Structure 1
Amino acid sequence: MNDPRVCLLIVLRDQHELLPELLAHLRPLNLPVLAIDDGSRLDSAARLDHLAAQTGMELIRLVRRSGKGIAVRAALDEAQRLGYTHALQHDIGDAYELAALEALIARSRRHPTTLFFGVPLDRQGMAPAPQLGALLAGMNAFSRRVREARPGVRLYPISSFNQMLARFPCGSGAEFDVESLIHWRWRDAPCEPHPLPLLARREGRGITIAQAWASLLMHLRTTFGMLLRSPWLLRRLRRDREPQP
């Protein structure tokens, strides 16, 4: 593979006031920025237009609120069209140590086919304990690594990830993060965690009934998908446990 071209993806909706601070924090990474506006209000959209004109970032706008999954898919399609090979997706409300993000990009250059996901670490260097949803995801993916995954940061190999999404679009909302990672592991594609010391985390907006329902449906889909694939997944599990000659 030629030298990877990495871009920064940021999905937001009505959060224009958080973007300048995040861009300033991430500027030393020297990555071109693709911001995805998932149906912001008119006043917020206007401020994003102004910020795009000031900073030169690429602004992708979804006219209606479509959900994180659809926004990320649209951004990855555009990133591939623009010639990028990898995309660092960074949630709008978090901030991580720059050295850890630089190390993540360096790992991706050494392992260009691997999907990396960030594992946030607290001030004591501890990762959060897996919640029930993460345990279910790890079980359905037949992968301990997936059990460690958290929202916040992903580093996608764009072409192969988009090929997977063309067959399995995954959830349209926040459940996309988990479901896409499960499908990725079902393909026996490599994924690895990467520790990211957390500097700041803004409180989210809470989980709505619609989001909880979408998450439940996602777990049901992936459970049935796991059962259908279980003969092959069990053979793969035995293969991975066999000692190498």
Structure 2
Amino acid sequence: MSAEPNTGSKGKWYDKELKRLQVELSHLQAWVKKTGARVVIIFEGRDAAGKGGVIKRLTERVSPRVFRVVALPAPGDRERSQIYIQRYLQHLPAGGEIVIFDRSWYNRPGVERVMGFCSEKKARRFLEVAPRFEAAIVESGIILLKYFLDVSEEEQEKRFRQRVEDPLRQWKLSPMDVESYNRWWDYTRAYDEMITATDTRQAPWWIVPSNDKKRARINCISHILKSIPYEHVPFDKPVFGKRQKRPDDFVTDITPRNLVPDVLENAR
């Protein structure tokens, strides 16, 4: 990765570096499709730490059929009756897929534990079992990467207040965000214990300092690319034949059609 400038050209550096990384992500995509590799990338972290921003830049220039984002809602009655990990198992990748979990099975030792949605006994049991579950995933041949995005109290509050004031961001502010603001230290304890208990050789945690969103995006995507042993796959350029000629008996359909209004034309 090229060195970050110390001048006012940081924005240009970011755009250039992001474009370079997204080209590499396209090469990763081609390699995954060709080899049938299976990859799981977990994103956890503080509320407003920038998980969505990283995921957006990670996926915006690649195919959603290869880079599949999983962001599960709260479990329904049926799912609550299942084994906890069951609702996540069905989303693990088949060959040629990269599955990105926008929050994951780590909801249990995080929000569920802090908010009292599960018992303390169940949370501690999860912390005991998760390393074995993840070891089994890795042993099956899946590449598993886990990232925790961290942000300071001051920066989190700043971002929450921006969401309050900006109509384009208000949808991001949930009741759970408000609770995470109020229970900062409860979450700190829960996350510290979670990371300590599940940071293993097979599936280590990688912490992403995220007070600077752009730096966090570049650092995280760079690390993902360095952590997967992909190779550039030659692109087979297609050969385009001749287009069909218009058939002599073709008659243009003159049935009236509904056209979307041209906003620019109407504004003149």
TM-score range, shorter chain: under 0.3
Larger radius of gyration: 2
Structure possessing the higher relative contact order (Cα contacts under 8 Å, 6 or more residues apart): 2
Greater strand percent: which structure?
A: 1
- TM-score, scaled relative to structure 1: 0.24
